[in-house]
Structure 1
Amino acid sequence: MQAKTGLPTLGACAGAVLLAACAGESGGGGSDTGSVTVAVTDAPVDAAEEVVVTFDGVTLKPADGPPVEHTFEEARSVDLLTLTGSAREKLLDGVTVPAGPYNWMRLHVEAEQGVSDSYIRMDGSEHSLYVPSGAETGLKLVRGFTVPAGGEADFTVDFDLRKSVHQPQDGGDYYLRPALRLVDNATTGHLAGTVTANYVTDSCESPDNGLAVYVYEGSGVTPDDVDGTEPDPVTSAMAVQEEDTGDYRYEAGYLAAGTYTVAFTCNARDDDPEADDDTDLLDPADVEITEGETATHDFTL
């Protein structure tokens, strides 16, 4: 696992569409505190060159007691596109907090409309990236989680940019409506594989329309595009061409252990998360994810 360790700050998850909050295992010992590690990763979006989000603090709400405020000494800007697959960046690294159940986290972001504190770069041009009401309310996760007494809770927050980034109809600022997964690293594995060059040539009119693998929870799922209705993919992974072989590689990280359906598409770039698109999803197959391991599934003729 690739990890980039940052300042001793706290980043977490929030809001909105896909969230699975998991408790860490107890370390025992009668302590009234535990430690929390939180990192971020990303399921990417096609065509974007950078997606930079700036965080400036987090509030945690214990089930019993007042909110605990964490304000960063300096705002932290993270390019989420550098954190695909199993790569992640730690925003909180073993910080001591009161043990016990928590009701919610609120992630504070600097993402105002018309201001490039957070931004997206497309085709060499930078556009403001804003979170509606984000400056006032932040991004709130209302699902609970637990910090074990005397132990450590280690989470990864997956920003699914394919679902989160929305292009305006009027050509103005882009906006971020976060679709996030919060997963307990102790219960996750990864998925990786190859899409062979001859498979792409045989299946796709062009390799330039967004080659991607969509991952759905459960076996035997009939795959559908990203549109906010079931079955929506849990996550997705871009297939990137390797110079030495000409084949394409993909990696989807931090999947809770269990059975999933995977499918390949040639035109992910045209998949609008706010519309029911005619996205061809090819050769669905079941894969099994095991804790601490990387499963492999290839798309080949």
Structure 2
Amino acid sequence: MKQLIAALGLSLGLMLSGCGGGTDGTASASNTGMVALSLTDAPTDHEEITGVFVTFTGIKYKYAHDDNGSEDNESEEKWQQIDLNESRTIDLLTLQDGNTTLLQHVELPAGEIEKVRFVLDTTKCYIEILGEPTPLNVPGGEETGLKSTNGFIIPQGGTVNLTADFDVRKSIAPRGHTGLYNLRPTIRLVNNIEVGEINGTVNVDLNGSKAILYAYSDGTWDDNETNTTEDGLRFTNAVVSTEVKDGEFALHWLTTGIYDLVLVEHNI
């Protein structure tokens, strides 16, 4: 059971504190730049899920324009895939509370990247339900890759530091009453130099319950967010979320703006 405790508005622009470097001059080749891409995650509403293991094999990058300067299309030959040195299986639930892990650090031609996709070995993706492994279905994860929002610029002779927020809470959905789950994330990609965090405290007696704080872009919160979608999800328009621990919270990887903060009690 979930109970809405409070909603309030705060301006992140007055509290911005950088989460990491964005661009520097470490690359040496004149027509190339470096991409440092890390992963992060947010708390999940599914109390029974104790692990989310995703196996990454590579990253696909799509430049905004082709060699002739015309707008690119969606054909696969327009994507540049950079495989990892070896596949990596990562438990996304270990990447909460602002924690990250570096997935790829690679030199690429300088220019505007329009889209990014994460390529997986779907046969090695699974979740743990109360410690027991359960297969995880990842539609398109191996063939086309999981899509991210937002593009970025690879600076000539510099480095761009990026963080991809998988947000497992919104990405995992039950497959009806089969006891199985789908992973269908919309991965939020941010430039580390453009983000900050909101820190604070709340004075609420939870009586042993867990409280999750959700951050909504100004004007996107309404009471319908408490309703359950067909995928069994709630609070789907929240940008980020975090668990309140000992009355303190920190919301990470937010771009400057005004946010509505919504505090929800999860009875456990």
Closer, same or farther: CA 179–30 of 1 in aligned 2, 3 Å: closer
Aligned match of 2:199 in 192, 199, 214? 192
The residue number in structure 2 matching 1:258 is 257
Closer, same or farther: CA 161–32 of 1 in aligned 2, 3 Å: same
Root-mean-square deviation over aligned CA pairs: 2.9
The residue number in structure 2 matching 1:108 is 119
The residue number in structure 2 matching 1:152 is 159
- The SS at the match of 1:132 is coil
Q: Does the 8 Å contact 1:44/1:237 carry over to 2? A: yes
TM-score, normalization by structure 1: 0.67
Aligned match of 2:99 in 87, 90, 105? 87
Q: In the alignment, is residue 267 of structure 1 matched against residue 266 of structure 2?
A: yes
What does 1:21-40 correspond to in 2, within 5 Å? Answer: 31-40=30-39
AA at the equivalent of 1:45: T
Q: Does the 8 Å contact 1:98/1:147 carry over to 2? A: yes
AA at the equivalent of 1:78: I
Q: In the alignment, is residue 78 of structure 1 matched against residue 85 of structure 2?
A: no
Q: What is the number of equivalent residue pairs in this alignment?
A: 228
Q: Does the 8 Å contact 2:148/2:186 carry over to 1? A: no
The residue number in structure 1 matching 2:218 is 218
- Stretches of structure 2 that go unaligned for 5 or more consecutive residues are 1-21, 68-77
More displaced, 80-89 or 121-130? Answer: 121-130
AA at the equivalent of 2:166: F
The Cα of 1:143 is off from its aligned counterpart by 4.5
Q: Following the alignment from structure 2 to structure 1, what is the Cα–Cα distance between the partners of residues 234 and 155?
A: 35
The Cα of 1:231 is off from its aligned counterpart by 7.9
AA at the equivalent of 1:102: I
What does 1:1-301 correspond to in 2, within 5 Å? Answer: 31-46=30-45, 47=47, 48-62=49-63, 63-65=65-67, 67-93=79-105, 95-112=106-123, 117-141=124-148, 143-196=150-203, 199-201=205-207, 207=209, 210-218=210-218, 221-222=221-222, 224-225=225-226, 227=229, 232-240=237-245, 247-267=246-266
Describe the superposition over 1:102-137 as per-residue Cα deviations: whole angstroms up to 9, x where unpaired. Answer: 23222101224xxxx111112222211121122222
Closer, same or farther: CA 26–101 of 1 in aligned 2, 3 Å: farther
Closer, same or farther: CA 262–29 of 1 in aligned 2, 3 Å: same
Q: Does the 8 Å contact 1:212/1:268 carry over to 2? A: no
Describe the superposition over 1:140-178 as per-residue Cα deviations: whole angstroms up to 9, x where unpaired. Answer: 347532111122111101111111111222233211110
Q: Following the alignment from structure 1 to structure 2, what is the Cα–Cα distance between the partners of residues 129 and 68?
A: 27
- The SS at the match of 1:186 is helix
Q: Following the alignment from structure 2 to structure 1, what is the Cα–Cα distance between the partners of residues 85 and 149?
A: 26
The Cα of 1:214 is off from its aligned counterpart by 0.7
- The SS at the match of 1:44 is coil
- The SS at the match of 1:162 is helix
Q: Does the 8 Å contact 1:86/1:190 carry over to 2? A: no
More displaced, 174-183 or 228-237? Answer: 228-237
Closer, same or farther: CA 237–40 of 1 in aligned 2, 3 Å: same
TM-score, normalization by structure 2: 0.74
- Stretches of structure 1 that go unaligned for 5 or more consecutive residues are 1-23, 241-246, 270-301
AA at the equivalent of 2:43: P
Q: Following the alignment from structure 2 to structure 1, what is the Cα–Cα distance between the partners of residues 130 and 152?
A: 40
